[in-house]
Amino acid sequence: MKTINLFWSFSLVMLGIGTIILAGSNLLSIELPDFMTRSIGLIDLASLPILGYTTVKKLKNKP
């Protein structure tokens, strides 16, 4: 159960950081380079299945 919590929190933090960077640059009208925007988007997309899987495992193992 400890590794599931670790993966869950890591993917949640990665999604949060990526979202803050992309939304913050959009709100402040900062033009990020294309490769940076795409790489942050790919990291977010890679974190989503991990977050979904670990969330289901956490809910199934709930006492």
State the pLDDT confidence band at 55, using cuts at 50, 70 and 90: very high
Q: What is the mean pLDDT of residues 15-38?
A: 93
**pLDDT at 8 exceeding the cut of 90:** yes
For the segment 24-31, the average pLDDT, to the nearest whole number, is 92
Q: What is the DSSP letter of 1?
A: -
Residues in the chain: 63
Provide the percentage of residues in the chain whose pLDDT is more than 90: 78
User: What is the rounded CA–CA span in Å between residue 6 and residue 28?
Assistant: 33
CA angle 23, 4, 60 (to 5 degrees): 105
Handedness of CA 9, 10, 16, 20 (dihedral sign): positive
Q: What is the pTM of this model?
A: 0.81
The total of other beta-carbon atoms located within 10 Å of residue 39's CB is 12
For the record, the structure tokens of 5 come out as 């919590």
